[in-house]
Amino acid sequence: MTHAPQIKIAATYMRGGTSKGVFFRLQDLPAAARVPGPARDALLMRVIGSPDPYGKQIDGMGGATSSTSKTVIVSKSTRADHDVDYLFGQVSIDRPFVDWSGNCGNLSAAVGPFAIASGLVDAQRIACDGVTTVRIWQANIGKTIVAHVPMTGGHVQETGAFELDGVTFPAAEIELDFIDPAADEDGAGGATFPTGNVVDDLDVPGLGTLKATMINAGIPTVFVDAAAIGYTGTELQDDINGDAKALTMLEAIRAQGAWRMGLIATPEEIASRQHTPKVAFVAKPADYVASSGKRVSASDIDLLVRAMSMGKLHHAMMGTAAVAIATAAAIPGTLVNLAAGGGEREMVRFGHPSGTLRVGAQASRRNGEWTVTKAVMSRSARVLMEGWVRVPETTP
């Protein structure tokens, strides 16, 4: 009886922000997987352990949540003034599908450290002590991210005192700049608000008409008021993820928002676009107890935000959605800005299921349209394991 041997592929398992994923250098992938297509998708799904009808990803590296079913491919950049190209693949847990339509802001924090340690950043650009600036081209969405990576003795510093709600242990702080977060792939200024409005009426079948802010910054995101859909903004995962009716309602909002934003031709196409757009609901500050048991006071935050990722309420906040929150908060009149008290602001601290997060954005109005030059936030990253992943050779 013949059997297929396993092949091994150099890989690094990393935490970035509140997510985990398997990182590869493009050059280390099998030849067929070095280009986009079915062979690459099949390989990454097998690495992660998808599709899994049991929803556990037992036979792979995935952790059976949207935050842990992720892959990253990094290579030396083909673009001027950039160090590396970064491609993110969100692997569906129960379906044979890899979504390449958006970025992961959390894993963005791990790209710089991975690139430095993997020899993808020119040696003369690496500081012995201090900070190394890594210029990243985010290939999924055609945007620039600048990572400020702490260094000690010529190596990435991973340990430190920086605490991030949603991550159990402290680590070294990595500052991220998302440059022109609404820019097009060619560098031209994209539409921050695809509909042209900071607030729209969104008609959702079976629900009625909702006020919505639909923004393209960090990741396309549809914001609605928590009270308009029956929530307070203090909800935790169990309050949403075990409620099939709630999940169906939120997915319907996402579908209509995606259609109005021009991301899909019809609302029915949303099933093939799981990663983007995100849908989130916002509310004015209120006291609540985070999932860790930490008490969050209304006086400590500017607003409350809860966001959906891959059909479930996220346990903390996606990094790209945090960029969208920062951008929307900086622009007067959006639902996010109004929940935070209105007016002009460059920084905002919001409450999420795991605690709080501070983010910022620089927005200005030009020729009647809002533009954002930069959004900023801090994350941390750490190597969890490095070596090889193994998959059956029969993987296409």
What residue ranges of the chain are covered by domains with CATH 3.10.310.10? 6-173+381-392, 200-373
Structure tokens belonging to residue 211: 């006020």
pLDDT in tens, 213-237: 999 999 999 999 999 999 999 999 9
Q: What is the pLDDT of residue 190?
A: 65
Alpha carbons 44 and 335: distance in angstroms, whole number: 38
Band the pLDDT of 366: cuts 50, 70, 90: confident
pLDDT in tens, 34-57: 999 999 999 999 999 999 999 999
Q: What is the pLDDT of residue 1?
A: 53
Residue (of 113, 92, 2) closest to 45 by Cα position? 92
Q: What is the pLDDT of residue 370?
A: 86
Structure tokens belonging to residue 270: 């949303």
Residue (of 179, 274, 165) closest to 220 by Cα position? 274
Alpha carbons 87 and 252: distance in angstroms, whole number: 28
Q: What is the DSSP letter of 340?
A: T
Alpha carbons 131 and 148: distance in angstroms, whole number: 6
pLDDT in tens, 95-135: 999 999 999 999 999 999 999 999 999 999 999 999 999 99
> Average per-residue pLDDT in the chain?
94
Q: Say whether pLDDT at 206 is over 60.
A: yes
Query: What would be the CATH architecture of the domain defined by 200-373?
Result: Roll (3.10)
Give me the active site residues, please.
Answer: 104, 318
Query: What would be the CATH architecture of the domain defined by 6-173+381-392?
Result: Roll (3.10)
- Consecutive H or E run containing 81: none
The DSSP bridge partners found for residue 14 are 21, 383
